[in-house]
Homo-oligomer: A and B are copies of this chain.
Amino acid sequence: MLRFGILGAGRIGNVHARAIASSGRATVGYIADAMPDAAEKLAAVVGAKTASVEDIIASSDIDAILIATPTDTHADLIEQAARAGKAILCEKPVSLSVERIKACLQVVEKAGVPLMIGFHRRYDPNFAALEKRLRSGEIGDPEIITITCRDPSAPPVSYIERSGGLYRDMMIHDFDMARFLLGDEEPATVHALGGVLTDPEIGKAGDIDTASVQMQTASGRIVVITNSRRATYGHDQRIEVHGSKGLLRAANIHDTTVELANDAGWMQDKIPFSFVERYQAAYTAEIHKFLDFLEKGEAPRASGHDGLMAQKLAEAASESLKTGQVISVK
């Protein structure tokens, strides 16, 4: 069975490590984290050992490196792992800098190692099913794509300060989803709006908490994305595609199918508040798709190129917000 080395034992490192351990197709060999306690705790859960980042990357016992460290280390670690000949599954984003991503991808290409980017939503069973039906022509060509993403609450301001801003940190997933749904056409223009409506501290940190973007392709297709850092009703995740022959949409997942009726109305259950819970099936599917990539040679659903392109859109949106102008994407 394929052996993973996991770099980063934080929340997302935990999610991946557990998904690997219960996959039945791979094991976790080593775990590294700047906080040794975190690494040891996770190692105990998944039956792994702890080691330093360098030793893991160099280890001949390890076939693949999963990178779940802070964003600013991603590109360097990808390059180190690539040079060591390891297969790589890296959490988004490769880097906050488009130029840095390009350089990094060249190293990967030169090394000839497999690289997949952790855009987990592409593996969500609902979104994946929608995309498959879209590609099969069920609603003809996509014309208007609407993506709704709202988080229950914002991360700490200390995190936001180093996040690269909402477009790079949060909407990056929606940019990737837009490209996933568009298929073979890229957004050509980006116009972004942003406001500080949920917490003035976010504004003081130079970021926004409420945002929308509209993009258009060369042929005229439209993508609309809305984001908020605060939704009292949970982790709101919806996509909708209006096509020439119909409409496809994927609604939120509710905790249970239980419904209550009384004199106040008819109450459906809540939706998940945690992305871990919301995307549990997606994270599991992601690991399996990565293994299919390595073992069966199936193309990765999100490549390094996809990581680059989503970042370009995030850059364009950031530039649009700053200048108040519409930005062309090359």
Contacts and interface: CB of A to CB of B under 8 A. Distances in A.
Interface of A: 22, 24, 125-126, 129-130, 133, 138-139, 141, 143-144, 146, 148, 150, 189, 191, 193-198, 210-212, 214, 216, 219-222, 224, 226, 228, 230-234, 236, 242, 244-271, 324-326
A269 B261 CA distance: 10
Contact of A248 (B196, B220, B258): B258
Contacts of A198: 143, 244
B270 A265 contact: yes
Given A228-B242, A266-B267, A193 B212 contact: no
Contacts of A189: 193, 324
B216 A195 contact: yes
B197 A256 contact: no
Contacts of A141: 197
A125 B272 CA distance: 14
5 contacts: A195-B221, A233-B247, A249-B258, A266-B269, A325-B325
B256 A250 contact: yes
A269 B260 contact: no
Given A228-B144, A261-B247, A326-B324, A222 B212 contact: yes
A137 to B, nearest CB: 12
A222 B251 contact: no
Contact of A263 (B24, B232, B249, B250): B232
A195 B194 CA distance: 24
Given A191-B191, A258-B248, A262-B245, A144 B212 contact: yes
Nearest to A128: B256
A226 B247 CA distance: 14
A270 B259 contact: no
A242 B231 contact: yes
